[in-house]
Structures are given as structure tokens and as C-alpha cells.
Structure 1
Amino acid sequence: MHTFIKNLLNGQSVEWKPLGEVLVRTKGTKITAGQMKELHQENAPIKIFAGGKTFAMVDYGDIPEKDINQKPSIIVKSRGIIEFEYYDKPFSHKNEMWAYHSIDKNIDIKFVYYFLKLNEPFFQNLGSKMQMPQIATPDTDKFKIPIPPLEIQQKIVQILDAFTTVTAELTAEYNLRVKQYQYYRDLLLDFNHLKNPFANGLNVEWKGLGEVAKKIYSGKNKEKTANGIYSIYGSTGIIGKTNIKAHEGEKILVARVGANAGFVHIAQGEYDVSDNTLVIEEDRSQLILKYLYYVLEGMNLNQFAKGAGQPLITGGYLKSITIPIPPLEIQTKIVEILDKFETLTHSISEGLPREIQLRQKQYEYYRELLLNFDTQK
């Protein structure tokens, strides 16, 4: 037990009891994914949880009243991605899941939630033994939890809530910045938009990408090595190492096949490119690389991928895309503006993602410290 916890307890004891003995377990409601989609209304009062991040907001009367839980609860997402979620408004969930609430005045349900979040890897490992990862009610009912005095539980919850609030606020700001970035990217690249400061009186040519790209071709790498010198870029970023240097300098890459088909990113340095990724070498007398990156990113190329099993974007299709080609000095100004937004929204070293990552690590550190009670022997 950490000294901090010993000082916090100040000689008071900690009981360990099975979760099922101290909390009330509740069932969900019988509902299909299709029904959830059909019933969903943005501002409805009841949240129905399904696996992962899936949910629906529904009205009273849409599901049986007996299936609606009004108490602050811990929802157990028991299949697929096994995790716990805390919710303190009216809710229900699909009936393969379950939830817990407390009727014991000496137990803070949020304290139990934080302890279960700390132990999610245990339950995920337990569930991984099944073909479809899943746990059963005895797995949580029999799981022992520490029960320090109520005032200690509340103090721990207060500290951890402060960290999660900061992270939530930063995440909300990040989402806002992403929307701003997308708005200005779309505005600055729409030369017919009246609010585009670069569009007034500007004669913008539209050309096929095949006309302004020196080459569009697929990467060739099919093998990775554990201790290679050079990076291998795949569909969405670096996927491994190789001893073969096939490319150098910045180049635009586009995911060619699979669920990420159409994803646009930039390779840097000395590297090779996998065979499921397209390489674009632009004509720099007509195009600035980063300007082309922003144009292609804004087009959401994934929507043009063909094929049900393995969606595909071809080099031939990319060559057929028409894009606006303003003068190089205008491209430069657009890139300067969008680079600032991109740094703030996407940079893991400078922007909000970096700050969110640091706060999350801080929260996890204190959660482990504050919940590190001696286990019952």
C-alpha cells in the first residue's frame, strides 16, 4: 500500500467484498440495433447503451418503464470491447449487458466505478479466452472490491473527478477546433465561396490530378524486418522497418485498399512504401505538396472506394480527379493558415492532443495510486 493511501486512511480499515454482495445488479431491455436506430432522437431523455460507443436516445414510452434505470450506475459492456461506463441520468441497455447501482449509504458508486476502470485489463483478459470476447455476470458479481470508509471514497472520487473534468474539457475544445479546422479548410479551398478571401477576382484553373502529378503509383514493399534502418509507410502511417530505401523526401500517400482506402497522409525522410498504398509525386512547378494534401484530405476519398469486401481506390481514379490550381503564392498562403489549425488540432507534440494525452496519463497515475489498497489475503 502506498504511503499516500496509508496517510489518507489514518489507521482506518478497508474491507474487501464481492461486488454482487454490495451492489444491486439490474437487467437491460430487449431491443435490436435496428430498433435503436429507428427510435433515436437527438435530445430524447433516455440513453440506451449498446456495445462499444453505440447508443440511442429515446423517449419514455419507447421501452418498458421497468427497464429504465433512474439511479447513478455502472454499465458493464460485456461483449466485444469489454469496459465499464458510469452514467447518472435515466438509461437502459441491451439485455446482454448489465448494470450495478448502490442502495448502501456507505458506498459511493463512483468510487466503485473508478476501481473497476482500473481493473478493466483483468476483465478484458478474462473475456479474451472466448471466441467472441465476453464476460458473464458471475465474473463481476464475484470480483472483490475494497470498501474504505465513505469519506475516503468520496475524497478519492473528488480528486479523480477533477482530472476527468479537465480531460473532458480539453476533449470538447479539441472537437471544436477540429470543426473549425474543417470549416476553414473547406472554405479556403472553395474558390466559388463568397467568404473565401482568396476567391475574389481570382482565375483558378481546374485540372485533372493526372495532369499535375508527375507520377501516381503503388508502393512495392511486402516484407518487414524487426531491426531495419528505414521506415515502411502503410495505409495510415508507419507500419514497420526495412533495410531497403525506396523513397526520400516528402510525398503524399493515399491508402489504396481496405477500410482505410482513401486516407491521405505524408511520408517524410528515407523510407519504403507498402504495396497497399499509393504514392503521388506532384509537379512542384504547379502544386505545393501541402496544398495538394489539404485538397485531397477535404475530398473524403474513402467515399469513392469501390468494392464490398475490400474497398479499393486506384491510381487511375486518382488521376481522373479534378482539383483547383490557384497561383503558387495563393497556395502558400492557404497552407500557412491551415498549418496553424492542423498543428493545434492534430499535433501530438504541440497541440491539444498532446495536452489531452498528458492529462490522461496524469489521471491514470493518480487513479492507480489512490486505488492501490492491499488485497485481501
Structure 2
Amino acid sequence: MSDMNYLEQLLDGMKVEYLPLGDVSKYEQPTKYLVASKNYSDEFATPVLTAGKTFILGYTDEVNGIYKASENPVIIFDDFTTANKWVDFDFKAKSSAMKMISSSDDNKFLIKYIYYWLNTLPGELIGGDHKRQWIGSYANKKIPIPCPENPEKSLEIQAEVVRILDVFTELTAELTAELTARKKQYNYYRYQLLSFEERDMEWKTLGDIGDVKMCKRILKSETRSEGDVPFYKIGTFGKQADAFIPRDVYESYQERYSFPRKGEVLISASGTIGRAVVYDGEPAYFQDSNIVWLDNDESIVTNRYLWHFYKIAKWFVSEGGTIDRLYNDNIKKTKIPVPYPNDTEKSLAEQSRVVAILDKFDILTSSITEGLPREITLRQKQYEHYRDLLLSFPKPEEVAA
């Protein structure tokens, strides 16, 4: 049976009416009695919610002004982002930019059905103040309500849509929880494997195994918004380049000045200190002093071992300026554990063993092509496909327009 046939079977010839969201739901805006103090602690039970990406400010022990969402779940609509969240736990509200949306009639409209439909709307900010944004824009959006003249059948159809989408949502949640657990496991084993407790090990400084290098300075006048070779600044390091340099400049500088070899590990020396990226050998150029690398002796420490170590390195960061900075001397003073320092063959074999274990964890927790992140992305796309499909009821001409 095709997906569309299933939708038709679900409706069983029943009509769908598109009603203004303001007719099927009601909302409450936080008032002063709901505003929480800053007496927050993870030991307390009740979360304090705010607008924006932060969402949970902290946890409070207050008992007054608690919104009982565990008894009557609500949708929290965020004026700042036009995002909405499903909330079925008790909370206190901090921001007036949040709206607590509930069903206007539980005997006709399921609040979770409304929630899933809201997720199909584009999350674009609308001009005007926050209250008008909700009333003037979203309250007038038309939500499909199957056979509203038969509330019992309508609720049955709404419940089936919710049931199917809950399955996908729960699967994604399980995978996300699994990813969180694996990341904790990864961090634990990384520290354990790189501590070499009760094993032959020596702490060497990075200066003992190599020298800090950086690319020749590129002037802003030499960069372009489009071009042949991407130029990575500290803000785009490890991301998508937004500046480029001519190929002849790249080839000239690569030949005449310091340049990383394929496999060497670049690190950020300002801003987010110690962010590590393995150079893949493709044409690219890197901002001097802000992005550096250790020209290390791989007979002492391999590049891949160094990459894993950078994730737990205790850097000697120079503070007090406009931004924190990792100077060359700071890098050279940083200590790295080298196993079996007096036996090169045994040392490299042990480094290879450690790398093999940590690489598996890294793939599982970070890879977008093999690990859990890829699986979560696929499940999320599957959920969005069925959400949009199940909520794509036939539209009358006046709604379609």
C-alpha cells in the first residue's frame, strides 16, 4: 500500500476542514508570578524555561507559580525563534517571549496533533513585536482538522497520526540517548588509554618532538570572496571557507614557505583553543598564527596519536588580551604521554593500538557517513517525511491559494 493510499484509508472518505490555529488552540503568556529567582541548582527538581536556544536556565526549588504541564502538556512557542517544543513536565517560565499553547477543546483537538502540525511550518521570524507575531501571524495559519463534524472520528484520526509520528520521535530520542552514552564512554576510554597508568611511559613536551609551524601571512587584499583555493580563517577553521586566494599565490607560498604535509594536525591558536583538524592534502591555505601545526617527528609520536591527544591536552593559554591565545612557546611547553620511550618499535605499536580503539569511538560518535550521527540524521529525515505526508491533507482552493 502506498503512503498516499494509507492517508486516504485513514480519512475513509471523511472531509478535512482547515481551521485557524487560533480557533483550535489557546495560549497563555508568562506573567510576573511565574518569574523565577536565580536560586538555581541541578539538585532541584523544577526547570526554569526561557526563550531562545538556552531554553532551560537552571533548576529551582520554588513551589509557587509552577506550570503543571505534567497534567496538561503544552507546546511552548518561542517568539525569538518561532520554534516550538513539546513540554510534558512541570516548569517555571522566565521569558515573556514564550507562549504556552494548549488545545481549546480536548474533546475535539489533540494538543500533540497541533504540535506536530506546527513543526511543518517554516520557522521564519515575522516582523513586529512578539505578541502581534503570534496573534497576527500564527493564530491565522490554517490547520487541517479531519471530519470536525464528527469529533470522535476526528480524534481517532488525529491520534493515529500522533501514534505514527511518536514512533519516529521515540526512535530518534533513543538514538540520541545512545549517542550521549557513547560520547561519555569515548571520553572515559580516551583518558584511560592516554594516561598509561602502570605502564612504561614518559611525559615529553611537544617541543621535544617537533617544532610549531604556520603558513606565510596572507594579506586581506590578496583574498577574494570567490576563487581557486579556500583560505581558512579562525572563524571558518574546520568549517566552510568564505575567502579564497589565487592558485598562483597558493603554489608560490606553498613552495617557498612552511606548509603542512598531508596527515599533519592543524590546531586553532586563538578563539576556541586547540580545535584540531587533520590536513587532507587538498589545496587550501590557513591563517598565520591563528592556525598552526606541529611539524612532529613521527618516529616519536604519530600524527593520528597526536590528534587524539589534542582533544584532552592541557594547554598553557595566555589570557588577558582581547581573546585567549596559544603562542608557540605555550604549545611547546604542553606535555604529551609517550609510551615505551626507549623502544621505538614498541612505542609506535602501542600508539597504533590506542589510535585503533579511539578511532572506532570517533567514527561511532562523530561520523556523518557511518556512525550514530548518520543514523540519527536518517531517522530525522524519515520522521519529517512521514510528518509532512500525514499532515498533507487535501486542501480546498481557498486554503491552497
TM-score by length of 1: 0.84
Aligned counterpart in structure 2 of residue 7 of structure 1, from 2, 6, 9 = 9
Cα distance between partner residues in 1 of 2:295 and 2:33? 51
| CA displacement at 1:49 relative to structure 2 | 4.1
Aligned counterpart in structure 2 of residue 329 of structure 1, from 339, 346, 349 = 349
Worse overlay, 361-370 or 20-29: 20-29
Partner of 1:343: 363
| CA displacement at 1:144 relative to structure 2 | 2.1
Cα distance between partner residues in 2 of 1:236 and 1:131? 37
User: CA 1:270–1:164 in structure 2 vs 1: closer, same or farther (change >3 Å)?
Assistant: same
| CA displacement at 1:256 relative to structure 2 | 2.6
1:141-177: CA deviations, max 9, x gaps? 2222111222111111111110111111011001101
Partner of 1:17: 19
| CA displacement at 1:6 relative to structure 2 | 3.1
| CA displacement at 1:207 relative to structure 2 | 2.2
Query: Are the equivalent residues in 2 in contact too, given 1:213–1:283 (CA < 8 A)?
Result: yes
Worse overlay, 25-34 or 2-11: 25-34
Partner of 1:196: none
User: CA 1:182–1:13 in structure 2 vs 1: closer, same or farther (change >3 Å)?
Assistant: same
Instruction: Confirm whether residue 78 of structure 1 aligns to residue 79 of structure 2.
Output: yes
| CA displacement at 1:39 relative to structure 2 | 2.5
1:269-311: CA deviations, max 9, x gaps? 223233142222211121111111111111265x936356433
Cα distance between partner residues in 2 of 1:238 and 1:212? 31
Partner of 2:274: 262
Query: Are the equivalent residues in 1 in contact too, given 2:47–2:92 (CA < 8 A)?
Result: yes
Query: Are the equivalent residues in 1 in contact too, given 2:265–2:278 (CA < 8 A)?
Result: yes
Partner of 2:173: 168
Query: Are the equivalent residues in 2 in contact too, given 1:251–1:266 (CA < 8 A)?
Result: yes
| CA displacement at 1:32 relative to structure 2 | 11
Partner of 2:156: 151
| CA displacement at 1:110 relative to structure 2 | 0.7
Partner of 1:280: 294
Correspondence 1:220-239 to 2 at 5 A: 220=217, 223=223, 226=226, 228=228, 234-239=236-241
User: CA 1:317–1:237 in structure 2 vs 1: closer, same or farther (change >3 Å)?
Assistant: farther
1:91-112: CA deviations, max 9, x gaps? 2322221111114111111111
Partner of 2:304: 290
Aligned counterpart in structure 1 of residue 136 of structure 2, from 135, 138, 141 = 138
| CA displacement at 1:261 relative to structure 2 | 3.1
What's the Cα RMSD here? 3.1
1:194-244: CA deviations, max 9, x gaps? xxxxx33x1x22222122123332574563564636785842245256633
User: CA 1:335–1:31 in structure 2 vs 1: closer, same or farther (change >3 Å)?
Assistant: farther
Partner of 2:151: none
Aligned counterpart in structure 2 of residue 209 of structure 1, from 206, 209, 220 = 206
| CA displacement at 1:42 relative to structure 2 | 4.1
| CA displacement at 1:16 relative to structure 2 | 1.6
Cα distance between partner residues in 1 of 2:317 and 2:34? 30
Cα distance between partner residues in 2 of 1:131 and 1:314? 47
Partner of 2:182: 177
Cα distance between partner residues in 1 of 2:216 and 2:267? 10
Query: Are the equivalent residues in 1 in contact too, given 2:34–2:65 (CA < 8 A)?
Result: no
1:64-86: CA deviations, max 9, x gaps? 25x5554111101111x331001
Query: Are the equivalent residues in 2 in contact too, given 1:73–1:100 (CA < 8 A)?
Result: yes
Query: Are the equivalent residues in 1 in contact too, given 2:212–2:332 (CA < 8 A)?
Result: no
SS for the counterpart of 1:279 is strand
Partner of 2:118: 116
Structure 2: gaps of 5 or more residues? 147-153, 255-259, 340-346
Worse overlay, 102-111 or 367-376: 367-376
Give percent identity, aligned residues only. 32
Cα distance between partner residues in 1 of 2:322 and 2:18? 50
SS for the counterpart of 1:35 is coil
Instruction: Confirm whether residue 304 of structure 1 aligns to residue 311 of structure 2.
Output: no
Instruction: Confirm whether residue 253 of structure 1 aligns to residue 266 of structure 2.
Output: yes
Query: Are the equivalent residues in 2 in contact too, given 1:44–1:59 (CA < 8 A)?
Result: yes
User: CA 1:91–1:156 in structure 2 vs 1: closer, same or farther (change >3 Å)?
Assistant: same
Cα distance between partner residues in 1 of 2:89 and 2:166? 17
SS for the counterpart of 2:187 is helix
Query: Are the equivalent residues in 2 in contact too, given 1:214–1:283 (CA < 8 A)?
Result: no
Cα distance between partner residues in 2 of 1:282 and 1:68? 59
Structure 1: gaps of 5 or more residues? 194-198
Query: Are the equivalent residues in 1 in contact too, given 2:113–2:158 (CA < 8 A)?
Result: yes
1:21-64: CA deviations, max 9, x gaps? 2212112254999934x324345045534421431333352x42
Partner of 1:319: 332
Cα distance between partner residues in 2 of 1:318 and 1:35? 43
User: CA 1:229–1:217 in structure 2 vs 1: closer, same or farther (change >3 Å)?
Assistant: closer
Cα distance between partner residues in 2 of 1:190 and 1:31? 52
Q: How many residues were matched structurally?
A: 358
User: CA 1:231–1:173 in structure 2 vs 1: closer, same or farther (change >3 Å)?
Assistant: farther
Query: Are the equivalent residues in 1 in contact too, given 2:36–2:92 (CA < 8 A)?
Result: no
SS for the counterpart of 1:126 is coil
TM-score by length of 2: 0.79
